[in-house]
Amino acid sequence: MFDGMRRLAEKTEGVAEPGELRRALDEAGLRLTRQRAAVFDYLRSVESHPSAEEVYAAVRRDIPHISLATVYKALEALVESHLAAKLAYADGPARYDCRCDAHYHIRCLKTGQVRDLPTAFDAELLDKLDPTLIDSLRQQGFQVTDYRLELLGHFAD
Amino acid sequence: MFDGMRRLAEKTEGVAEPGELRRALDEAGLRLTRQRAAVFDYLRSVESHPSAEEVYAAVRRDIPHISLATVYKALEALVESHLAAKLAYADGPARYDCRCDAHYHIRCLKTGQVRDLPTAFDAELLDKLDPTLIDSLRQQGFQVTDYRLELLGHFAD
DNA sequence: ATCCTTGCAAAGCATTTGCAGTCAC
DNA sequence: GTGACTGCAAATGCTTTGCAAGGAT
């Protein structure tokens, strides 16, 4: 185990509070705008991990003249403020996840759909794989700070 | 545990043999060409996980007039033949990995570099996380067939 | 008042496609 | 000989950028 990962595991909050948005943007030296708030609110409200296009389509209901470029910039601002994460896959557009605590994903190989797993993040999982792993990597000059686990499969027909 | 993953775990060969290329392409209904062989040979020879551009640059030393489009098509043929895997990340181009057995990766957050982990693939790891996980997902209509684990961190300065 | 952000259009990068000529089987 | 593959150039999809007008502090 190691401190960075323990800190990740101890975070209790998943989706950030609304007031959190202002604080987080501030901390990153960014301004709170109507567009960013709308993008954040939408991302916070959905279970799925939408693409920029999907966010654009949804946010347009509130701000009809918002541009796709602004949505991209807003998503980037959220990532920079550590309120969201960008998930990339081999095919199709990137997807955005606004849960900022450590957690796992399942991904459907047929549809590309990504969902969160309710399973609690296990900071000891790498030790269960091999108790000497983290130390031996450190000795080889690689400092492990985090890990990602993703389950692949498909939804039943 | 489940059959698909057990099969993955039992595969002993990592990097495929040269003769393997013909068989694998054949099985996928694809032809063996000089271009595909060169791409495969290069991918097999390197520890890193190169992008299509990098493969192109390298293979051009053997086949100076090969086109980038052909490299993309060759890489796709290898993926289709299960001789390589395509790895995508939030930034930059996709990377290709020709180890076809299940294994783990480490990724440097500073440089984007990706390497294989020597640690053996553990088909029971998900059970160690939560013994009821795979069953409970199945009951919810999601069939797990595989998982990906990636260690994040950075190389010491 | 200052500097950041928006929205538009244009550019950029990674990747794919259409097609005529060539090669593998 | 037949159908698949190559190489070229053009197209596509996703994302970023430049810039003038508008908005946040």
Q: Which residues of B touch A133 (CB under 8 A)?
A: 117, 119
The overall average pLDDT reported for chain A is 90
Q: Which bases of strand D sit closer than 7 A to a protein CB?
A: 4-10, 13-18, 23-25
**How confident is the model over B87-113, as pLDDT tens digits?**
998 888 999 999 878 999 999 888 778
- pLDDT value at position A90? 84
CA distance B149 to B128: 14
Q: Which bases of strand C sit closer than 7 A to a protein CB?
A: 4-10, 13-18, 23-25
* Closest CA of chain A from B10, distance in Å: 17
Count CB-CB contacts under 10 A for residue B74: 25
Read off the tokens for B10: 């039992």
Count CB-CB contacts under 10 A for residue B17: 9
Q: Do A147 and B150 touch (CB under 8 A)?
A: yes
Q: Do B154 and A148 touch (CB under 8 A)?
A: no
- pLDDT value at position B114? 87
CB A83 within 8 A of CB A39: no
**Regions in chain A scoring below 50 on pLDDT:** 12
- pLDDT value at position A12? 44
- pLDDT value at position B5? 65
Strand-pair category, A142-155 with A105-108: parallel
Those of residues 47-76 in A touching chain B at CB distance below 8 A are none
Q: Do A152 and B146 touch (CB under 8 A)?
A: yes
- pLDDT value at position A16? 61
- pLDDT value at position B70? 98
Size of chain B in residues: 157
In this complex, the nucleotide whose C1' atom is nearest to the CA atom of residue B70 is D6
Q: Which residue is closest to B90 within chain A, CA to CA?
A: A88
CA distance B26 to B29: 5
- pLDDT value at position A35? 98
Strand-pair category, B85-87 with B105-108: unpaired
Residue B90 approaches strand D within 7 Å at CB? no
Main-chain dihedrals φ then ψ at residue B140, nearest 5 degrees: -90, 5
On the question of pLDDT at B37 being above 90, the answer is: yes
CB-side exposure of B17: number of CA atoms within 13 Å? 5
On the question of pLDDT at B12 being above 50, the answer is: no
Q: Do B126 and A150 touch (CB under 8 A)?
A: no
